[in-house]
Amino acid sequence: MKADALVTDAKAKIEAAGLPGYEKVVRTVCKAEWAYEVAVVFDSLDNFKGYMESDFRTETMEPALADFGKLATSELYVGNRVYDEL
């Protein structure tokens, strides 16, 4: 529940920022292992790159990730994925 609250807060900040190409935030949880994953989805590689290079990411999302890390029971993993809905 604490992790969900952090994700909800981050999502509100992303939406308020009006980031170009932002589509949605997706959260998945494996109940067997309690593996918690969050994806922020952008509509194109260029918009994703813009987000990755943005001050918003540095000033807002990186501190949020640090807060999320305080809840983790193991090391956080951050990676980039191609996302397709089939």
The chain-wide mean pLDDT, for the chain, equals 92
pLDDT score at 37: 92
CB 41 within 8 A of CB 25: yes
In this structure, the number of other CB atoms found within 10 A of the CB of residue 6 comes to: 16
The span from the CA of 1 to the CA of 7, in Å, is: 10
pTM of the model: 0.85
Q: Give the whole-number percent of the chain exceeding pLDDT 90.
A: 65
Closest C-alpha to 79, from 63, 58, 65, 60: 65
